[in-house]
Amino acid sequence: MYFDSKDALTMVEELRASYNSGKTRSYEWRESQLNNLLKVAELHEQEIVDALRSDLSKPEFEAYVQEVSSTMGSEKPFDEEAASAVVKELRVTFASGKTRSYQWRVSQLECILKLLTENELEIVNALRSDLSKPELESQVYEIAMLKNSCNLAIKELRKWMKPEKVKTSIAVFPASAEIVSEPLGAILVISAWNYPFFVGAIAAGNVVVLKPSELAPATSSLLAKLVGEYMDSSCIRVVEGAIAETSALLEQKWDKICYTGNGRVGCIVMASAAKHLTPVLLELGGKSPVIVDSGINLQACVSPDYIVTTKDFAPKLVESLKQELENFYGKNQLESKDLSRIVNPNHFARLTKLLDEDKVSGKIVHGGEMDKTNLRIAPTILLNVPQDSLIMTEEIFGPLLPILTVDKLEDSFDLINSGAKPLAAYLFTNKKKLKEHFVNTVSAGGLVINDTTVHLAVPSVPFGGVGESGMGAYHGKFSFDAFSHKKAVVYRGFVGDASIRYPPYTKGKLRILKALMGGGILSIIRALFGWPEA
């Protein structure tokens, strides 16, 4: 039957008549319709999955998570009251001391390992559903890296937890001192599921709420399910949702908040944290550059935010990048099964806007093809884009690579330092002096020479931003320290309590105290005997 404008008008008039009667305003009517909707989803779950698969060729897992489960979700919204209840429950557990023991911490880290090992296929499928991520990338960059973080924490935890003995001064003799790593308390992590924040917070003995990204709904739902099954729910919770749920969580008092994302939301997180003087750990990204020297052997394709090279070398670099992209993804790169898709239509539209700007018109030297239906954009290279263009002022988060050119490579350092400090910066060169100049000149969260992003795989160095790219750092023991309070403890006996500390104050007492506070042993002896300084 054809549905035309006349039919549409009739339908709207009928609906308006019902609305004007007040029928839909009552609590009873609203509740009955919500219950009916829930009943439809429950009774016809398989038919819905089959229909979605037929219409969109969605895998069953994706269809269920994104469509059916959203209908069958909790009837009660997760508001400030619900968030407050969660935090109170977790604080009761923390106050009991349960999370402080070595045994509890290790058991939960082992639970993460078990969760990852027993559900690898489900995790890979969820990541494929959300991002069309290839299995190799999911296994290596998502699952394996998180496993490595857990294994390192388990191996080193006793050492990390052990109080650190430190020296004392003669001013407090006889005394000893140590630094005790104390768990902070209740931690809120607003981040991707696989970030080491989660491992560090647990290893440090805290209770944790993890708020995964709503932009990856299949992964988020799977994480909530698995954490509930494998981990101690009295200490570790997952809260799903979007802006409303995140806002409700941010209204609560936390002992630390961690956020991974963009600077705009980072400011919102900081403003919320400031209400309770809550410390934050922010990883905000930024425009991570790669500087390419003309003297290198071009055998690698990198994935930064932009590249800077010399004007003379740029054409050769472009041709090398084109060849490497063809080696990676074939001639028809838009169809490659190894190319991840854009996370959602909004981000696809944002990337399209970057390419459609007049300022970058004619700058595309490779790629640019798009598949709006499947949210795919072919790897795209742009040459000599203006520095004030959108693609150079916003984080890209997509397969777009602008290239800037300078007269001499040292000029690139000034170019980088003239903008916001990036999360990372990379240099490809064989020149020792250029490497030294890069390290001493460029300010960024981290630097890598002759590769990109590999500092993520080095747990002995901190990973974090500086300035606009974030604050705080994590990785290995740095993750443990990020969620611990370094508590100073000084031990003294009841002997050796010098009367010179107490009234009445005299010049002699002052002379001795000054020697104790800042002098060596000879100065102290002179002060005790009243001898003048040499």
Active-site residue set: 283, 301
CB 469 within 8 Å of CB 421: yes
CB 396 within 8 Å of CB 390: no
Q: CA-CA distances (angstroms) from residue 468 to 104, 262, 422, 471?
A: 37, 10, 7, 8
Q: Which residues pair with 447 in a beta bridge?
A: 425
Query: CA-CA distance, 334 to 41, in Å (whole number)?
Result: 36
CB 345 within 8 Å of CB 365: no
Q: CA-CA distances (angstroms) from residue 322 to 202, 295, 378?
A: 44, 19, 12
- Token readout for 349 is 């539209």
Strand 463-464 to strand 236-238: parallel, antiparallel, or no bridges (unpaired)?
Answer: unpaired
Q: How many CB atoms within 10 Å of residue 43?
A: 9
Q: CA-CA distances (angstroms) from residue 473 to 153, 337, 362?
A: 16, 35, 40
- Which residues are CB-contacts of 287 (< 8 A; sequence separation ≥ 6)? 305, 306, 392, 395, 419, 420, 422
By C-alpha distance, which of 50, 82, 72, 74 is closest to 63?
50
Coil, helix or strand at residue 63: helix
By C-alpha distance, which of 352, 130, 397, 376 is closest to 260?
397
- Token readout for 292 is 């390419």
Q: CA-CA distances (angstroms) from residue 89 to 41, 186, 187, 207, 311?
A: 32, 10, 13, 10, 61
- Token readout for 414 is 């000034």
- Token readout for 348 is 């696809």
By C-alpha distance, which of 403, 331, 338, 402 is closest to 376?
338
